[in-house]
């Protein structure tokens, strides 16, 4: 980014000029940063990364203008291209920082600034007696804009590693460019400043660190976005699992959930059936029938333990699985169902039920059939009475 010494008219014969090598590496580095950030912006669609990618593309143009000038030794039009490309880099860098803190800069501002930037660049190139004088003004402009970007990023509340890796190179670049103003002023007065002969390497290092900070910021944002997406998918999966395994009317487990239930247990199963549900639906409507089913489900819940499992087995049938329960205790606990259940409408319901024990997990299906048979025997006796 600092290229003043590259525009020197000549170099002492005994000196070794590393400028073309430094500029070539700087061009390669800026192009790679532009491509990496451009791919990230294309993948995730983040505007601030896209603007930073274009910023490094503009810097590549500026560095290539320097490289061509080294080859041709002609200041025109390379000084002008350098200024305009570097100013575009600064604008896009600032715009990207504003986007990062959710304070976007309208793109139309660039349209207003382009004519002013072109006129100012032409004036500076024509009026400057040499590139040293031109660069003193340019260094002040770069330092001010970078300092503003540093302040903008200070508005971010989350001070992550990537945030520090972005602000530190900005601070370094700002210090370098503010230092160039007096250093090049002294050099123009004939004072030799040895550091300036290799200053482009320092700028290259600061630029690489800045680009690395940008990539790290994008990587952190990608990690957060992917983490949020995974969390959303897990939530959706859990909700679907709940819907698949839960009966929406009674909030009891569905028959599907029974087949996914762990079978390493013993205990008692019980089948419960609502009596005369069809008559309730015909006489009072399906809303009353749904209320009757919910009332029976709640009545069963009052008689089971927290570890017992209630399934809605069919339209008006329920299955209760009670692990590690003795059959006689279950029979006593559910005997009160024979007295009837009162719905919120005041209707008295009766249910038929049957229970059976299963001493081993592989006998639970036989126990369900036995409980179902006992339930229908109880229903038949109730109809006959």
Tokens of 377: 């025997």
Per-residue pLDDT at 1: 54
Which pTM value belongs to this model? 0.63
Per-residue pLDDT at 148: 95
Q: For the chain, where are the alpha helices, taking DSSP H only?
A: 19-44, 47-72, 78-100, 108-127, 131-153, 161-188, 199-245, 255-259, 277-284, 286-301, 327-334, 364-384
H-helix or E-strand containing 356?
A: strand 351-358
Q: What is the pLDDT along the chain (385 residues), one digit of tens a residue?
A: 554 444 443 333 333 334 677 778 888 888 998 999 999 999 888 999 999 999 999 999 998 988 887 788 677 888 899 999 999 999 999 999 999 999 887 777 777 888 999 999 999 888 888 777 888 999 999 999 999 999 999 998 878 889 999 999 999 999 999 999 999 889 888 888 888 777 777 887 888 899 899 999 998 988 888 888 888 888 777 666 666 788 889 989 988 888 777 777 899 999 999 998 888 888 888 899 999 999 999 999 999 998 899 999 988 999 999 999 999 999 999 999 988 899 888 888 999 999 999 998 889 999 999 999 999 999 888 777 6
Tokens of 204: 């290259």
d(CA 88, CA 80): 12
80, burial (CB in 10 Å: exposed 0-12, middle 13-18, buried 19+): middle
CA angle, corner 160, sides to 157 and 163, nearest 5? 80
Per-residue pLDDT at 184: 87
Per-residue pLDDT at 90: 95
Residue ranges and CATH numbers for the domains of the chain are: 4-234 (1.20.1070), 255-384 (3.30.70.270)
Per-residue pLDDT at 9: 35
Per-residue pLDDT at 17: 38
Per-residue pLDDT at 262: 73
Per-residue pLDDT at 7: 44
Per-residue pLDDT at 15: 31
Per-residue pLDDT at 14: 30
Nearest to 323 by CA among 340, 306, 338: 306
């Amino acid at each position: 980014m600092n290229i003043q010494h590259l525009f020197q008219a000549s170099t002492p014969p005994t000196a070794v000029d590393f400028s073309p090598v430094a500029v070539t590496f700087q061009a390669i580095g800026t192009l790679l940063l532009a491509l990496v950030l451009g791919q990230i912006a294309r993948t995730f669609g983040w505007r601030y990364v896209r603007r930073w990618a274009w910023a490094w593309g503009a810097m590549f143009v500026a560095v290539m203008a320097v490289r061509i000038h080294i080859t041709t030794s002609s200041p025109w039009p390379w000084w002008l291209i350098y200024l305009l490309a570097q100013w575009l880099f600064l604008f896009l860098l600032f715009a990207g920082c504003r986007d990062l803190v959710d304070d976007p800069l309208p793109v139309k501002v660039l349209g207003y600034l382009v004519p002013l930037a072109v006129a100012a660049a032409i004036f500076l190139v024509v009026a400057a007696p040499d590139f040293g004088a031109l660069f003193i003004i340019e260094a002040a402009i770069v330092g001010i804009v970078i300092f503003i970007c540093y302040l903008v990023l200070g508005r971010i509340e989350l001070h992550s590693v990537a945030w520090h890796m972005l602000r530190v190179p900005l601070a370094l670049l700002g210090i370098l460019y503010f230092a160039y103003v007096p250093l090049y002023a002294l050099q123009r007065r004939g004072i030799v400043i040895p550091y300036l002969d290799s200053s482009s390497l320092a700028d290259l290092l600061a630029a690489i660190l800045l680009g690395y900070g940008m990539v790290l910021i994008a990587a952190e944002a990608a990690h957060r976005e992917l983490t949020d997406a995974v969390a959303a998918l897990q939530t959706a999966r859990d909700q679907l699992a709940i819907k698949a395994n839960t009966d929406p009317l009674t909030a009891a487990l569905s028959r599907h959930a029974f087949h996914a239930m762990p079978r390493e247990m013993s205990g008692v199963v019980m089948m419960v059936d609502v009596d005369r549900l069809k008559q309730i639906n015909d006489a009072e409507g399906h809303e009353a029938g749904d209320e009757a089913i919910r009332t029976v489900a709640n009545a069963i819940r009052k008689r089971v333990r927290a570890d017992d499992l209630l399934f809605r087995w069919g339209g008006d049938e329920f299955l209760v699985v009670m692990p590690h329960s003795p059959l006689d205790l279950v029979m006593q606990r559910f005997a009160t169902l024979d007295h009837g259940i009162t719905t919120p409408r005041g209707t008295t319901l009766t249910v038929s039920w049957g229970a059976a024990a299963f001493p081993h997990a592989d006998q639970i299906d036989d126990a369900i059939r036995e409980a179902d048979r006992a339930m229908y025997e109880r229903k038949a006796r109730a109809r006959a009475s």
